[in-house]
Amino acid sequence: MELTTIWFLLVAVLFTGYFILEGFDFGVGMLLPVLGRDDRERRVLINTIGPVWDGNEVWLITAGGAMFAAFPEWYATLFSGFYLPLLLILLALIARGVAFEYRHKRPEPSWKRRWDAAIFFGSLVPAVLWGVAFANILRGVPLDAEHEYVGGLLDLLNPYALLGGATTAALFLTHGAVFIALKTVGEVRERAGALAVRLGVGAAVLAVAFLTWTLGIRSSTAAVVLAVAAALALLGGLAAARVRREGWAFTGTAVAIGLAVATLFAALFPNVLPSTLDAAGTLTASNAASTPYTLKIMTWVAVVFTPIVLAYQGWTYWVFRKRIGVAHIPQH
Amino acid sequence: MTAWGLQVDALDVARWQFGVTTVYHFLFVPLTIGLSVLVAILQTLWHRTGNEKYLKLTKFYGKLFLINFAMGVVTGIVQEFQFGMNWSDYSRFVGDIFGAPLAIEALVAFFLESTFIGLWIFGWDRLPKRLHLAAIWAAAIGTNLSAYFILAANSFMQNPVGYRINPETGRAELTDFLAVLTNKVALVTFPHTIAGAFLVAGSLLVAVALWHLIRNRDSADTPAYRFAATFGSWVTLVATAGVVVTGDIQGKIMTEVQPMKMAAAEGLYTTESPASFSVLTVGSLDGSRELFAIKIPYLLSWLGTGDPNGTVHGINDLQAQYAAQYGAGSYTPIIPVTYWSFRFMIAFGLAAAAIALLVLWSQRKGRTPTSRWLLRAGLVMPLLPLVANSFGWIFTEMGRQPWIVFGEMLTRDGVSRSVSLTEVLTSFTAFTLIYATLAVIEVKLLLRYAKAGVPDVSPATEIDDSHDDAERPLAFAY
């Protein structure tokens, strides 16, 4: 396999991992005001992701770094072209990250309310905008022959991209609800389990519509297979959620999100950022790539360190595997 | 666009944004780097001796560490995105080389740091003691490792090595990755930066402990604070020695690889051999002429070359040389900025060491410090090396100008062409507002928790017999 293909796959894997992991973090954040009826319940929700959210976010930093190292043209064009959406994502991630750490540091309800709002909007904004961004990557954007983005903000807010944003938000909400049902006990668990099914139906409708539209724009056999598998996984997850088999439900939504992201990358390949104007402006895995020497070094680094990272991150989830409820929340 | 009578373009705002967000990010990084290790040492002492005072200090400074850590994490993501968002032509030009250390930093260091910090925060009652101790060490190692990779990337901008320019694409391509990682600028900048970070962390230990010692003389926790004040003072002094020694080596490497930066640090306009060190020079407003100066003869030659009679090149000669080599244009940094930031870096850094000596003296032979003056000095103590760190970065990055990659690409050529003035003004305003708000919140929280003092760690308060084990509250929760 060519090195550029390997790195296309690795970037795809990193974003897939990011959306599976931070997907439920975002879901928990968006469900905070819905499922947490008082302060202790909200603390239960936040603590389901407390030990892991930061490690989950590093998947994004690594995906960004891998894109920069392996496909500098892609990184440069995408990040400068999607300037304002990325700015909003950054501001949201800043507010949200600080909120987790600072919320419990003072007892005043007004203090907590403000950080709750930061967690809610800090989760909602990226949950929507990542969908908008990836839909636009797939649809293609106006690039000139030098691969420079020549569109405006409104070019990014087309109906297909907005559907993409709604889809990721709905998927992450479902994924988050399923995760909460898996990680909590008591009333919160019950409410999350019931809500997961209702959210999941909406998410399934949106996801099927979005993936169908996607395959209409560009497609490949692999993409079709992955899309069908994603839909089946989501349905399986929802069926499990309905009978409150929480472990299977979570597996289902995690696999569905992973396969949906994989569908986008499979449909995109070998392009990485198609141009809607001049065909010469289209960025592909080969014309956006670094030199083989750089890719070779990065491959070795990835081969050695990725399994280590997966092992200790997986172990963290094992350490914090126990469900929590309001009884576990200390007074201070 | 013209604002307040000034011509403003997207490039200027992008530069200001990079400067402000980077300096701001680096207000939190030194404490994360230094305090992670110091907290790990405190916890190790508790582990080894079983003495509760070390556990109290671990939890106390650990809390301050985490308040600061969160800010470092969230402002760090901005840094990685900003290269692509605002400096896309730079990213295209150096991506083949510069992206690799960034990706490795994330994969090798950030995962380690963030995963194990989570285990440490929430693991007090869920991990065996020894494993919990290992978690803080893993996080500390991750943090310090991350500094190496990002400094290797930065050092490429100061002294590009291990690359060639592809004549077809005009881009820089990696030819020797080991050379990039062992860039001599990186090898000396890393220990200098780490020492600078420990200077801040040691000072914070002292400041907080001293406040409690002087305000609350008969507290049961006096032994804990005494230890923290002494330990922090020694860390500060050793770090100062580290900063001075590495800074001296840096000066010599800088004279060799970036002679203009050395000349700009000194405001040395004409080549001198021997060259004298300017303690204080007042120049004309445009920075082109000197009006008044106090100088130490031979010192600059010795600092720059290791030989008291060595030649140090002046700004005017280097400017003429670069103009001949790279084409007409200015290759001179803004001299008042480099000159003063260099001096402020040194002065503020050394001031912290002076206070550390006073603190050690005040505690000689078992005495407890009482002086109100010392209390005041102690309170400003952590700010001094923090400001020194900021000035150090301002100096080294402003001293590199007008280059973004020395000798290869000008900063103005690296900016994103597709990002409009309105967009970059929007982001600059947004970052400034959210950063300013968070700074106020962060400082207030730090002061609140610093004043609260060391926590009660006696286990009796934590066990509640009315619940069975499965329902016992967590030792820590958000």
Q: Note whether B114 contacts A150, CB cutoff 8 Å.
A: no
A43 in reach of chain B (CB within 8 A): yes
Residue percentage of chain A with pLDDT more than 70: 100
Residue A220 has pLDDT above 90, yes or no: yes
The A residues from 260 to 299 touching B (CB cutoff 8 Å) are 290-291, 293-294, 297-298
Residue B469 has pLDDT above 60, yes or no: no
Q: What is the pLDDT of residue B276?
A: 84
Average pLDDT over residues A276-304: 93
B267 vs B338: CA distance, rounded Å? 8
Q: From the DSSP assignment, how many helices (H) and strands (E) are in chain B?
A: 16, 8
Q: A2 by DSSP, 3-state: which? A: coil
Written as one letter, the residue type at B131 is: L
Q: A273 by DSSP, 3-state: which? A: strand
Q: What is the pLDDT of residue B8?
A: 84
Residue carrying the six token digits 């840094």: B79
Residue B464 has pLDDT above 50, yes or no: no
Contacts with A80 from chain B: Cβ below 8 Å: 84-86, 88, 416-419
**pTM to 2 decimals?**
0.93
**Region for residue B296 given its phi and psi (left: phi exceeds 0; alpha: psi -120 to 50; beta: otherwise):** beta
Facing residue for A54 by CB, picked from B73, B86, B173: B73
User: pLDDT band at B460, cuts 50/70/90?
Assistant: very low
Probe site for chain B from A10, A13, A47, A83 (most B CB atoms < 10 A)? A83
Facing residue for A86 by CB, picked from B85, B97, B127: B85
CA distance to A4, A310, B96, B104, B176, per residue, from A7 (Å): 5, 18, 13, 14, 20
Q: Which residues of A233-257 are buried (b: 16+ CB within 10 A; e: fewer)?
A: bbebbbebbeeeebebbbbbbbbbb
Work out the angle at residue A203's Cα, subtended by the Cα atoms of residues A222 and A241, and round it to the nearest 5 degrees.
100
pLDDT in tens, A112-171: 999 999 999 999 999 999 999 999 999 999 999 999 999 988 999 999 999 999 999 999
Residue carrying the six token digits 């050394």: B350
Facing residue for A329 by CB, picked from B76, B426, B477: B477
3-state secondary structure A103-169: HHHCCCHHHHHHHHHHHHHHHHHHHHHHHHHHHHHHHCECECCCCCECCCHHHHCCHHHHHHHHHHH
Measure in Å the smallest separation between the Cα of A244 and chain B Cα atoms: 22
Residue B376 has pLDDT above 60, yes or no: yes
Q: Which carries the bigger pLDDT value, residue B107 or residue B463?
A: B107
Average pLDDT over residues A305-313: 95
User: pLDDT band at B326, cuts 50/70/90?
Assistant: very high
Q: Kindly state the helix (H) or strand (E) to which residue B163 belongs, with its residue range.
A: strand B163-165
User: pLDDT band at A332, cuts 50/70/90?
Assistant: low
A137 vs A263: CA distance, rounded Å? 13
Q: What is the pLDDT of residue B363?
A: 82
User: pLDDT band at B2, cuts 50/70/90?
Assistant: low
Q: Note whether B70 contacts A100, CB cutoff 8 Å.
A: yes
Q: B274 by DSSP, 3-state: which? A: coil
Residue B33 has pLDDT above 90, yes or no: yes
Probe site for chain B from A45, A48, A58, A154 (most B CB atoms < 10 A)? A58
DSSP string computed for A40-106:
HHHHHHHHHHTTTHHHHHHHHHHHHHHHHHH-HHHHHHHHHHTHHHHHHHHHHHHHHHHHHHHGGG-
Facing residue for A55 by CB, picked from B77, B111, B175: B111
pLDDT in tens, B161-217: 999 999 999 999 999 999 999 999 999 999 999 999 999 999 999 999 999 988 887
**What is the distance between the terminal CA atoms of chain B, rounded to a whole angstrom?**
47
B316 vs B330: CA distance, rounded Å? 11
Q: What is the pLDDT of residue B378?
A: 86
Contacts with A324 from chain B: Cβ below 8 Å: 474
User: pLDDT band at B6, cuts 50/70/90?
Assistant: low
Residue B465 has pLDDT above 50, yes or no: no
Tokens describing residue A178 = 């399923």
Measured between CA atoms, the residue of chain A closest to residue B434 is A91
A301 in reach of chain B (CB within 8 A): yes
pLDDT in tens, A34-46: 999 999 999 999 9
Contacts with A105 from chain B: Cβ below 8 Å: 67, 445, 448-449
A191 vs A189: CA distance, rounded Å? 6
Q: Kindly state the helix (H) or strand (E) to which residue B379 belongs, with its residue range.
A: helix B372-380
Q: What is the pLDDT of residue B25?
A: 95
Tokens describing residue A299 = 């491959």
- Check if the beta carbon of residue B120 is closer than 8 Å to that of residue B142: no
Residue carrying the six token digits 């930031």: B341
Measured between CA atoms, the residue of chain B closest to residue A185 is B471
Measured between CA atoms, the residue of chain B closest to residue A112 is B478
Average pLDDT over residues A62-84: 96
C-alpha B269: how far from its chain's center? Answer: 30
The dihedral through the CA atoms of B115, B121, B126, B131 has a sign that is positive
CA dihedral B216, B220, B224, B225 (to 10 degrees): 0
How many other CB atoms sit within 10 Å of the CB of residue B200? 29
User: Would you tell me the crossing angle of helices B184-215 and B335-362 to the nearest 10 degrees?
Assistant: 40
Contacts with B70 from chain A: Cβ below 8 Å: 97-98, 100-102
B251 vs B246: CA distance, rounded Å? 9
pLDDT in tens, B384-400: 999 999 999 999 999 99
Residue percentage of chain A with pLDDT more than 90: 95
Facing residue for B95 by CB, picked from A72, A78, A149: A72
Q: Which carries the bigger pLDDT value, residue A183 or residue B304?
A: A183
B174 vs B93: CA distance, rounded Å? 11
Lowest mean pLDDT segment, chosen from A290-299, B274-283, B456-465? B456-465
Q: Across chain B, what does the average pLDDT equal?
A: 90
Measure in Å the smallest separation between the Cα of B285 and chain A Cα atoms: 37
Question: Which among B73, B89, B78 has a CA at the least distance from the CA of B430?
Answer: B78
Measure in Å the smallest separation between the Cα of B77 and chain A Cα atoms: 7
B220 vs B203: CA distance, rounded Å? 23
A260 vs A245: CA distance, rounded Å? 22
User: pLDDT band at A294, cuts 50/70/90?
Assistant: very high
- Check if the beta carbon of residue A161 is closer than 8 Å to that of residue A67: no
Tokens describing residue A4 = 């550029």
A179 vs A192: CA distance, rounded Å? 9
Residue A260 has pLDDT above 60, yes or no: yes
Residue B348 has pLDDT above 60, yes or no: yes
